[in-house]
A and B are shown apart, each in its own frame.
Chain A
Amino acid sequence: MTPNSAPGNPSSRLLRGPWVFQIPLVFGCFLVVFLYLWLRIQPAGEYYSQGVVFFLNGGFFHRFLTYPGGLTDYGAAFLAQLNSSSWLGALVFTGLGALLFLVARRLCRGMTGCDGPLICLAPILVLLAWRGRYDGQVLTATLALLLALGAAGLCATLARRPPWVRWPAWWAVGCLLFYLAGLWPLWLCLCFLGWLGAIRGSTWPNVAGAFLPALLLPVAALGWPLPGKALTPWGTGAPLLWGGLAFLVCPLGFFLLAWFSRRSAVSQGRGPCPENRPLAPAAAGKPNPPAHRAVARPRLAKSPSARTSPVRWWRGAGSRQFLTLGGLLAVWALVWGLLDADRKTLAEIEYRAALKQYEPLLAAAARLKVLPPSVEIRAQWALYHTGRLSQDLFTVSSRGRGNLLPGLELGIEACLPQSQTLLELGQVNEAEHLAQEAIELLGDRPDALRLLADVNVLKDRPKAAAVFLRVCSEVPFRGAAAAARLAELERNPRLTGDPEMDLARSRLTTTDLPHDALPGEVMLRQSLDSNPKNQMAFEYLLAHYLLIGDFKRLARHAGQLQDFSYLAVPRHIEEALLLGQKLQGLEFELRGLKIRADTIQRFDRFRNAIDGMAGQGADALSTLAPEFGDTFWLYYYSRLAHRPDASN
């Protein structure tokens, strides 16, 4: 036998036994984690949709010093900024996962004497599955868990020291952990500490000495009863369950591993794990062997009694590897299946909206069966920018609420998308109003700050705009654009020459309408009155009349299509005019433009279909969706026809 292949040599252990299987397994697993995150979860979508706020300044940092767990929140907020590039965000999370695995593995060996690669991979897989739900603060929980396991490992190391060193050191670690990461990590660390005490046969005073100060610490710091934020740091509901699972999977897994390996050892008359020596309880009056020594000496050869005991198939190395691989694949399948496709699409829509990628935004919106108000507003905005608002509105609005500018009516989430639309419409005060509401509730999101900067430029408050841009410029990785705009603002306080600002300025409202909630139609008409060439206001007004089924006003404004350089009547306008003609005898003048023949033929088919459904319920309309789902006609019959004023 060569020196390198001696049983006690580390490099030989790498080439033999479980490592031959485990190293590729673990590396492969983390490669898949990275690819899954980068290509499937796409952290950039999370970045734009969740909008985790982080600023590189002392004031922002100071906020996180004031409560337990604040520094973990701060670290997670910083790491969340790296999600602005999907690959970078994926790399960061994979790196955290690798650290988590290493720390968990070390702890696992210390606690159970076994390696348990699947159990050590379990926390990161749980966190990954949680991340696929696009819900809650996964990065915060990941950092907190990492700190908890690290602290538990440190406490286990300190367990070898005499009590006068051990206890103060434990208390210090407990205090530090509580301050850095909050309550859950402290409890997890205590859980491991208790286990360690049980393994080592510690006396009650020993355990109490370690436990009591740590248990009293949160009460002393936070008061009793403990505040809800401390108990549910990642939110309530599903995030709390996911976080709880991520925190519990290690102790539970370790416990099961220890239990099975002990049973196995008893039945085979050897140590708990085939590759490791068991961690024996301390004999009376004798100190325990150091934990690292207890776990670092593998017993590769089976004892004679083991050789004679009956060999079960799952105890063979190959079978166990097969079971591990199978288990891992099963867990991966679960992680894959748990991805929330709808939320992923919502995140992608926010991402596309931030980059003003209108077509991909609409493609993503098309994947949703039901559009939340914020998405509907984004999609309408994208339709306008692709010149299809009056062509394809009902591909969007038939799956939404049919609202263009709902104000605060449909919740805060709809505020920011509306702000962008309102700003472009020239309703700068309304845009300011809704953006301010958004940042109060959602935090100082860079997109909202940038929008408020534009609002203030348009309101001739360049110094206020500069305040927003300066804050925005303190955002890591995305601050450069704000800094460049700030420099431009200092040179040119009205930002003249900027096409978007020039366009918005040309559309600014010139009259004041005091109100407590301005209806969308009034707003659009005011914009159009202020600037009769406001194309966006005109198209939105047409869309508004379509959505409320106001044939007469639609017909009146359809006569102005040529004023806005339309070469043909948009499809939905044609559809509405035809239907209005049929239902109300609507008369309209298109000033040289005509309704296309194929629209008329399609309308005839629709009429026949509707006439054939006479006496059937509203549900029968759904059978027309494959052919007419994108038309005003079906929208009208399914949403508007039963209104009391429908015939007007």
Chain B
Amino acid sequence: MAQGAVEGESAVVVGRAPTLFPDYAGIVIPPNIAPLNFKVEEPGTRYRAEFHSLKGRAITVTSRNSAIRIPVRAWRELVATNVGDLLWCDISVRDRVGRWNRFTTVTNLIAREEIDRCLVYRLLKPLYSVYVNIGIYQRDIESFSERPVLENRHTQGGCLNCHTFLNHRPDTFAIHTRGSANPQPMLLVISNAVARVDKTLGYLSWHPSGRLLAFSANKFALFYHTKGETRDVFDARSNLGIYRIDSNAVVVPTVLALPDRNETWPCWSPDGKYLYYCSAPRLPVDQFKQVRYDLMRVAYDIDQDRWGDPEVLLSAEQSGGSAAQPKVSPDNRWVLFCLAKYGNFPIYQPSSDLFVFDLQTRQCRRLSINSEQADSWHCWSANGRWIVFSSKRLDGLFARPYFSYVDRDGQFCKPFVLPQEDPSFYEHYLKTFNVPELVLGPIEVKESALAQALLDPLKSLKPTGETRPPEAGPPSTIVEGEGQKRYQPSLK
């Protein structure tokens, strides 16, 4: 028997489950996830965890300091050979008198469906007005490897935000930047070729065809409270627009830019037939607590370039809250969105919860995976069986990425935080995980190429057309870029 192993007869059975940090008990895990290292938050002098399932060799981990770090290779073998089965973990703790205490077995389920291999997120401090260190990073979910996609120290400072991928592909994406002189450009990566688009665009969403990018043009104002959550954001005015990648032109359809309403948070449905978004009446800033957004969609025929009529899926009146960040599942059935008391910046709203709207039944429900703190910035996996979202549930201040399994009936399972090599990682990490996005593989375009494209681009696009329509609301127009080198995307 290995040193520290439990002698079955002498172990005292504790009639409860152990307290683990992070809480990796009773969850559904992807078969390709990195080892779920954790700390046993029970007093003791020695710790032992045995992971086993129906097939394969069990893994036994012992530790003197409560941190259970599972060997990567053995974990992969065990999980891969037991896809669809339960994974048990028996935890024992030796107390000061040398007696082993055995806790109730922790049971998890290994899902059949894998999760997308990489998670791309932005790391930053809980920022206010000044930003110095911001970066977008990619984490290999199957291991603990994290690499920068682009850090702002390579781009002469400035803010990097809202990385958006086409169909979860790592080679085609957009990153918006701020900080340099207007227009604040966007980096457009298509099949790993990088170009700078000299146009200020806000929240982005790729049409599944890769030919269009829906964007919002927002006029944000950061403001503060003297009680409760310190920061808040007011969107004084916003519209949606379309950037046509193939013709390098910006168009603002009238239906997406109503003069008396603010439209924001665009999201194309995976079939490309609808654009989902949020819309609210335009109110002055002193009525910021009355600003509540409806969940909307509008039909679009890409072949005819024809827009339908806006359709209210869930009005603010019905929901009693303000909708934000709609994301449609890959099977086009569920719309996952945030609902907060007011406003459209859910990460600053402790009241923000995740809701799902069933497009078949037209029913909406609050998810059981929510917490007392802000839950937002969600993203579906490519196969639609997983979601990732940012939650401040651990401490109320720092957002951390959580995963949840979604079954075919739209049931969301208990969420768990992204595993880290050091189980106490989240207990002393001062940055917040922002905009977690799942992608199918690692981003291969080099950081230096992105930085160069921003500072000294080989290809620079200056789309013509307005991101904001005149108040009168003109007819939809498409304006070709003139005098610019046409950027020909070569989509796979």
Chain A interface residues toward B at CB < 8 A: 57-59, 223, 408, 412, 427, 429-430, 432-433, 436-437, 439-441, 444, 456, 459, 461, 463-464, 466-468, 470-471, 474, 509-516, 518, 523, 526
Known: A436-B126, A437-B130, A439-B125. A467 touches B427 (CB 8 A): yes
Answer whether residue B96 sits at the interface, using C-beta atoms and an 8 A cutoff.
Answer: no
Q: Are the CB atoms of A467 and B226 closer together than 8 Å?
A: no
Q: Are the CB atoms of B128 and A512 closer together than 8 Å?
A: no
For the complex with contacts A444-B430, A461-B396, 19 further pairs of A-B residues with Cβ separation under 8 Å are A57-B428, A429-B226, A429-B227, A429-B228, A433-B128, A433-B224, A436-B125, A437-B128, A439-B125, A439-B430, A456-B395, A463-B394, A464-B396, A464-B398, A467-B428, A470-B428, A474-B428, A518-B224, A526-B226
- The answer, among B130, B131, B422, B426, for a CB contact under 8 Å with A412, is B130
A507 → B minimal CB distance (Å): 13
Residues of A within 8 A of B288 (CB): 514
Known: A440-B127, A511-B226. A516 touches B132 (CB 8 A): no
Residues of A within 8 A of B223 (CB): 514-516
Residue of A nearest to B289 (CB): A514
Residues of B within 8 A of A510 (CB): 227
Residues of A within 8 A of B397 (CB): 456, 461, 464, 467
Q: Are the CB atoms of A440 and B428 closer together than 8 Å?
A: no
Give the distance in Å from the alpha carbon of A518 to the alpha carbon of B131 in the complex: 21
Q: Are the CB atoms of B132 and A514 closer together than 8 Å?
A: no
Q: Are the CB atoms of A463 and B222 closer together than 8 Å?
A: no
Give the distance in Å from the alpha carbon of A437 to the alpha carbon of B130 in the complex: 6
Contact code string B114-140 (vs A, CB < 8 Å = 1, else 0):
000000000001111111110000000
Give the distance in Å from the alpha carbon of A467 to the alpha carbon of B432 in the complex: 12
8 pairs, CB–CB < 8 Å, chain A vs chain B: A412-B130, A441-B130, A456-B395, A463-B394, A466-B395, A467-B427, A512-B225, A514-B223
A544 → B minimal CB distance (Å): 17
Residue of A nearest to B452 (CB): A223
Give the distance in Å from the alpha carbon of A511 to the alpha carbon of B426 in the complex: 32
Residue of B nearest to A517 (CB): B224
Give the distance in Å from the alpha carbon of A513 to the alpha carbon of B430 in the complex: 28
The residues in B between 378 and 411 inclusive whose CB is less than 8 angstroms from any CB of A are 394-398
Residues of B within 8 A of A514 (CB): 223-225, 232, 288
Q: Are the CB atoms of A516 and B224 closer together than 8 Å?
A: yes
Residues of A within 8 A of B427 (CB): 466-467, 470
A214 → B minimal CB distance (Å): 23
Residues of A within 8 A of B422 (CB): 58
Residues of A within 8 A of B131 (CB): 440
- The answer, among A223, A430, A468, for a CB contact under 8 Å with B448, is A223
- The answer, among B130, B221, B226, B428, for a CB contact under 8 Å with A512, is B226
Most chain B beta-carbon neighbours within 10 Å: one of A436, A513, A514: A514
Residues of A within 8 A of B394 (CB): 463
Residues of B within 8 A of A429 (CB): 224-228, 230
Known: A223-B448, A516-B221. A432 touches B226 (CB 8 A): no
Give the distance in Å from the alpha carbon of A468 to the alpha carbon of B130 in the complex: 20
Residue of B nearest to A426 (CB): B226
Contact code string B196-233 (vs A, CB < 8 Å = 1, else 0):
00000000000000000000000001111111101110
Residue of A nearest to B221 (CB): A516
Give the distance in Å from the alpha carbon of A430 to the alpha carbon of B129 in the complex: 13
Q: Are the CB atoms of A467 and B128 closer together than 8 Å?
A: no
A531 → B minimal CB distance (Å): 13
Residues of B within 8 A of A515 (CB): 223-224, 226
- The answer, among A58, A463, A471, for a CB contact under 8 Å with B396, is A463
Q: Are the CB atoms of B130 and A440 closer together than 8 Å?
A: yes
Most chain B beta-carbon neighbours within 10 Å: one of A468, A512, A526: A512
Give the distance in Å from the alpha carbon of A310 to the alpha carbon of B234 in the complex: 89
Residues of A within 8 A of B230 (CB): 429, 432-433
Q: Are the CB atoms of A461 and B132 closer together than 8 Å?
A: no
Residues of B within 8 A of A441 (CB): 130, 132
Give the distance in Å from the alpha carbon of A511 to the alpha carbon of B227 in the complex: 6
Give the distance in Å from the alpha carbon of A444 to the alpha carbon of B394 in the complex: 21
Q: Are the CB atoms of B127 and A436 closer together than 8 Å?
A: yes
Residues of B within 8 A of A513 (CB): 225-226
Residue of B nearest to A58 (CB): B422
Most chain B beta-carbon neighbours within 10 Å: one of A429, A471, A526: A429
Residues of A within 8 A of B222 (CB): 516
Residues of A within 8 A of B129 (CB): 408, 437
Residues of B within 8 A of A464 (CB): 395-398
Residue of A nearest to B393 (CB): A463
Residue of A nearest to B134 (CB): A440
Give the distance in Å from the alpha carbon of A463 to the alpha carbon of B223 in the complex: 25
Residues of A within 8 A of B128 (CB): 433, 436-437, 440
Residues of A within 8 A of B226 (CB): 427, 429-430, 509, 511-513, 515, 518, 523, 526
B289 → A minimal CB distance (Å): 9
Residue of A nearest to B229 (CB): A429
Q: Which 4 A-B pairs have the closest CB atoms?
A: A463-B395, A464-B397, A464-B395, A470-B428
Known: A429-B226, A464-B398. A440 touches B125 (CB 8 A): yes
Residues of A within 8 A of B428 (CB): 57, 467, 470-471, 474
B15 → A minimal CB distance (Å): 25
Residues of B within 8 A of A474 (CB): 428
B158 → A minimal CB distance (Å): 14
Give the distance in Å from the alpha carbon of A493 to the alpha carbon of B396 in the complex: 14
B144 → A minimal CB distance (Å): 12
Residues of B within 8 A of A433 (CB): 128, 224, 230-231
Give the distance in Å from the alpha carbon of A540 to the alpha carbon of B11 in the complex: 63
Give the distance in Å from the alpha carbon of A428 to the alpha carbon of B242 in the complex: 43
Residues of A within 8 A of B228 (CB): 429, 512
Residues of B within 8 A of A512 (CB): 225-228
Most chain B beta-carbon neighbours within 10 Å: one of A408, A440, A512: A440
Q: Are the CB atoms of A467 and B398 closer together than 8 Å?
A: yes
Residues of A within 8 A of B221 (CB): 516
Give the distance in Å from the alpha carbon of A430 to the alpha carbon of B224 in the complex: 8
Give the distance in Å from the alpha carbon of A456 to the alpha carbon of B127 in the complex: 15
Give the distance in Å from the alpha carbon of A430 to the alpha carbon of B230 in the complex: 8
Q: Are the CB atoms of A440 and B224 closer together than 8 Å?
A: no
Most chain A beta-carbon neighbours within 10 Å: one of B222, B231, B232: B231
Residue of B nearest to A408 (CB): B129
- The answer, among B127, B232, B395, for a CB contact under 8 Å with A461, is B395
The residues in B between 445 and 478 inclusive whose CB is less than 8 angstroms from any CB of A are 448
Residues of A within 8 A of B232 (CB): 514
Contact code string B154-187 (vs A, CB < 8 Å = 1, else 0):
0000000000000000000000000000000000
Contact code string B225-247 (vs A, CB < 8 Å = 1, else 0):
11110111000000000000000
Most chain B beta-carbon neighbours within 10 Å: one of A441, A474, A516: A516
Residue of B nearest to A516 (CB): B223
Residue of B nearest to A527 (CB): B226
B95 → A minimal CB distance (Å): 20
Residue of B nearest to A67 (CB): B153
A268 → B minimal CB distance (Å): 58
Give the distance in Å from the alpha carbon of A427 to the alpha carbon of B230 in the complex: 11
Residues of B within 8 A of A408 (CB): 129
Give the distance in Å from the alpha carbon of A280 to the alpha carbon of B382 in the complex: 74
Residue of A nearest to B448 (CB): A223
Residue of B nearest to A473 (CB): B428
Give the distance in Å from the alpha carbon of A464 to the alpha carbon of B230 in the complex: 14
B285 → A minimal CB distance (Å): 9
